[in-house]
Chain A
């Protein structure tokens, strides 16, 4: 067994997923501990260029037409053969539609221990976050190659990115016949109104927005932040936004990275739909608004006084 830390890189339609950069950040930390290298494992067909932004000491690349798009069987076989040959100290996967399909199968196939939902790894201590974020669990690297699936929260994607273009070494792909899982086609999400439950940045408006025209301000901000406007029920009731934008008991449940609540009081019927947002920033004139009980950051201020300077600074940040 060598002391290297492998990261199976996830990519879809020409883009490396953030979780892979996050995993690389974790892998670099761990590699320091073990004295090995952080190595990216890239599978695909004619995608070696994707290696260039990886903050890895090296990249192992397997090229095969059967690996052109992700399919469980092909990835499992390829990664299994690599691990079997090289016996790295640990292998990171994203806890995602790509990584989770591979990691667990390999745990059973190769009889290697698996720790999932890892959020950070320090001094060989693996910290996992489970039960809706309510419980933390600590484990450690096993004596054999340990498989780890990562979730975001402990590292930023930038920490796994680099300008330095690591060396890319090819490795042999095993025979990929008799694959039991084949991709027929991709289906793009429908154009038409947004599914707010899939957005990671939400700018939420409540009664405090006062008039339909003011919604434009929220939409401007949302656009600059790469997000979408959603609302509490009264806005939808007025017909100012479609029902698909409603968050709460009578609407959708959302768990975005950022929920910016503008002029929303935080009534239980609304909170029910957004309490699990990763970060909640609430702006409200009422210091007793219940939204402040669940928000990460609270701002007791008139949103209308805030919006112009805010839009200016945000625009500047985007340009600069």
Chain B
């Protein structure tokens, strides 16, 4: 009995290693130098029994089966820091960490919070467990109508993919309404899918549920296919990443831009609408999925610079070295688990850093960030007065 078990486990290591080559650029894993840059830069690397570098070493030694019983890989928030610094350009985040989480999930090794979020995503099309019928409820109470494709029944210029947290979380709904107001003010012809929209699925994919991701993508693809529009715009960097980089492999291909790119293009129309403002010192947090994952660093800054009175000061970690808020890769749904392991929150670190810039406002551009950073401002010393705002909220406020 023991022999069969150990052969089976050894087989897992080989099987797993070989499967990594199937990911795009996955073969590069063979060239790992064991330099430990990845494990070193990983914000939670010190809490993992198998940070990326060690995972590769054990695989090469043929003894990675123990990973299946270990749960510290759930500390990975898919922030792309490791991928960014790897001197051999190994796709560590999508190629290794995601695959490891997939195996853990198949083996039933999954924290309970994450399980609920995945089950909610499957049942309700959003990870918060809210009724899909209420997905567009955030739009009631605005003094103009937000067109919902199913009732509008006409082509639009821009299809706005809103996202889960932007639709349902009370704090993030403020950002969503701000974008709606901006689009309205700029006279953009737009529409949303409303109840027909499902979670983009990207964080679920990175948390190891490939099957769920494909199911959600298929549903969104069907919804997209029903309507006519010129491009998709999204306020959610995770949705942006999914629709731009992952959906095409499933045959769902559309032109997609993040709102920062879109608005940066319209900056000359926006500037005249921005009124004089008092001087505000702000610092901008580069979201992982806009920055490292998709190289969008300038557009958000262009927008901020256009606001009169704004003084931008950069944090020590900025652009490609930005510190993750901790929400990605399933992190939004692993809070309790990660707190138990580390007694520290990545969002607290980031807010600490923001405090040192003496900025009044911490500016964000991703829906995971307002609730996470606002929570941190309540406990990080010196951050009590710090305000967290999305670029969109600042733009709308500057319009008066």
Q: Which residues of A contact B (CB under 8 A)?
A: 207, 233-234, 237-238, 243, 246, 249-251, 267-268, 272, 290
Contact = CB atoms under 8 A, between A and B. Distances in A.
B339 A290 contact: no
Given A249-B113, A251-B336, A268 B169 contact: yes
Contacts of B336: 243, 246, 249-251
B335 interface: yes
A251 B335 CA distance: 10
Interface string B340-380: 10000100000000000000000000000001000100110
A250 B113 contact: yes
Nearest to A248: B336
A268 B335 CA distance: 14
B381 interface: no
Interface string B111-137: 001000000000000001100000000
B170 interface: yes
B379 A238 contact: yes
Given A237-B339, A268-B128, A290-B170, 7 more contacts: A207-B378, A233-B335, A234-B379, A238-B379, A249-B113, A267-B371, A268-B169
A203 B110 CA distance: 32
Interface residues of B, number: 14
B267 to A, nearest CB: 34
A250 B113 CA distance: 7
Contacts of A267: 371
Contacts of B169: 268
Contacts of B340: 243
Interface string B100-113: 00000000000001
Contacts of A238: 379
Contact of A268 (B170, B345, B375, B378): B170
Contacts of A268: 128, 169-170
A243 B338 CA distance: 13
Interface string B250-270: 000000000000000000000
Contacts of A233: 335
A290 B173 CA distance: 14
A218 to B, nearest CB: 19
* Those 5 A-B pairs whose CB atoms lie nearest each other, nearest first: A250-B336, A250-B335, A207-B378, A250-B113, A234-B379
23 contacts: A207-B378, A234-B375, A234-B378, A234-B379, A237-B339, A237-B345, A237-B379, A238-B379, A243-B340, A246-B336, A249-B113, A249-B335, A249-B336, A250-B113, A250-B335, A250-B336, A251-B336, A267-B371, A268-B128, A268-B169, A268-B170, A272-B129, A290-B170
Contacts of B339: 237, 250
A24 B128 CA distance: 43
Nearest to A251: B336
Nearest to A250: B336
A167 to B, nearest CB: 54
A251 B336 CA distance: 7
Nearest to A238: B379
A90 B158 CA distance: 66
Contacts of B335: 233, 249-250
Contacts of B379: 234, 237-238
A234 B378 CA distance: 9
A311 to B, nearest CB: 27
Contacts of B345: 237
Contacts of A251: 336
Contacts of B128: 268
A250 B112 CA distance: 9
Interface string B315-353: 000000000000000000001100110000100000000
Contacts of A250: 113, 335-336, 339
Contacts of A249: 113, 335-336
B400 to A, nearest CB: 23
A244 B345 CA distance: 19
A284 to B, nearest CB: 15
Contacts of B378: 207, 234
Contacts of A237: 339, 345, 379
B93 to A, nearest CB: 25
A246 B336 CA distance: 10
A233 B335 CA distance: 10
